[in-house]
Structure 1
């Protein structure tokens, strides 16, 4: 059966119109999906950063709380001994006075520990904020910054720094390295150690003998980039490789291997510089020491 030309033309117009509407809806859905992906990625990065900071803070708090609990136990024992002395007619005033002094000394030490914990948390927060102020959320997913006992550890993932299976710096690493170089130059009197680490999978390349070689070559590549490209003084820099022998995760899982393949930039202040940094932390107001009641 043959259709008239006018009917065929109408059918063609209808098909084209329906195709245009479908394409528009598809683009809208695709844009919404991309936006949701970006939001999910940002939330995931923020969660990981917060979780890492919380783990470090909890470790410091646990150590100081254990010391505080021990001192409180000592105070309770001293108080019990004092009570026994007060109830005994054979004890002289000299022993009682000595126990009171010991109790007061223990109370002051407990307060010092509490103040030290508060100041340590404040100092680490000041340093971490200063170090990460120029890094984007995306860069923070590949850069882990920790401050432990005044030493700054910046850990960089190998897939962000190097070309796959190589020690050559990738194009992607340039922007992040430039920001880390700025951090190093801000603290221009600190010593800087660049430390390469690998997983336990043997390297198979003619010009690289083993993971010791690979880790040292990668650290050396970062040192040369910081010196030649970003102007960091070479006398402040040290390159070292630890191969597979300094793991921070289980090498039996892909995620663990990825964490172990890292390069650490360790910024170490000298003692007098560390004391200057402590002065930048917010001062904690000590709580008044309670004197024992007079009997």
Structure 2
């Protein structure tokens, strides 16, 4: 009977880990797709800025030509009657060039607004997190932004006892502060990642560091959901084991839990997608 219970618990843990890894892979793929889109939009933005500069210079040259033609119009008409028609064509070309510049300006502003909005929202989130977590030791918790993503890295000595996946009472206070911020930011989803050092671990139903890191991630997710009312649809739990270390010499830095905060991709990149479809930017 005891072996049957242990076997059932082991299967449940492995199933939870698999599901978490799948959800993590989907979310990471979605983020990479959005990042590729942003990179492509940035390239297009730079191209548009260069085209705008060239078009502006050409437009100024056309203005100077029109001014010259108007000033000398009567003399030219006396010598070459067809210059009136040429002047009209020049003015028409100038008008078309100005319209094209205005269209490109609008598209460029749309793309710049999308990037600025993302950056400003991330800055607001970081300030909020640092505000509620500001009294903690910098060695225990770190808030940073990388490639448009906000990371909250918490040392395991603050969250768990060695070899355990039970969250300490002191850690619940920290998680409560994080929950307060994320609950006020409904436009974000986030992933809780468990990380271990490279020391092999096996105890009870836990077979290795994969199991330990996944159990630690799901323990935190449950507390955020059950104790602090965070919507479970916004969360993903993932175990990363020892395979993404941050230090080659200090193993304690690798034993950590990382909360990866992501904007909802559909909302924050829709303006970029629309901008990329604009015919003006692809001329």
Using the size of structure 2 for normalisation, the TM-score is 0.55
- 1:141-173 deviation line (CA, Å, top 9, x unaligned): 533335678865432222221112332323432
Alignment partner, residue 134 of structure 2: 136
Aligned length: 209
Query: Structure 2: 5+ residue runs without aligned partners?
Result: 1-38, 67-82, 270-283
Counterparts in 2 of 1:129 and 1:104: CA distance versus 1, 3 Å: same
Partner residue of 2:36?
Answer: none
Higher RCO, 1 vs 2 (CA within 8 Å, ≥6 residues apart) = 2
Where does residue 265 of structure 1 map in the other structure? 259
Partner secondary structure for residue 132 of structure 2 = coil
Q: What are the within-5 Å matches in structure 2 for residues 1-295 of structure 1?
A: 69-82=46-59, 92-93=89-90, 94-139=92-137, 141-146=139-144, 153-187=151-185, 191-199=189-197, 201-207=198-204, 208-230=206-228, 232=230, 237-245=235-243, 247=244, 249=246, 251-254=247-250, 257-267=251-261, 270=264
* Structure 1: gaps (5+ residues): 1-61, 276-295
Contact 2:159/2:168 (8 A) holds in 1 = yes
CA distance in 2, matches of 1:241, 1:79: 54
Residue 274 and residue 82 in structure 1: after superposition, are their counterparts in 2 closer, same or farther (change >3 A)?
closer
Aligned partners of 1:154 and 1:264 also within 8 Å = yes
Range with greater deviation from structure 2 (173-182 or 263-272):
263-272
Asked if structure 2 preserves the Cα contact closer than 8 Å seen for 1:197 and 1:261, the reply is: yes
1:219 deviates by 0.7
Deviates more, 1:161-170 or 1:211-220: 161-170
Task: Let me know the Cα RMSD of the aligned residues.
Answer: 4.2
Higher Cα Rg, which structure: 1
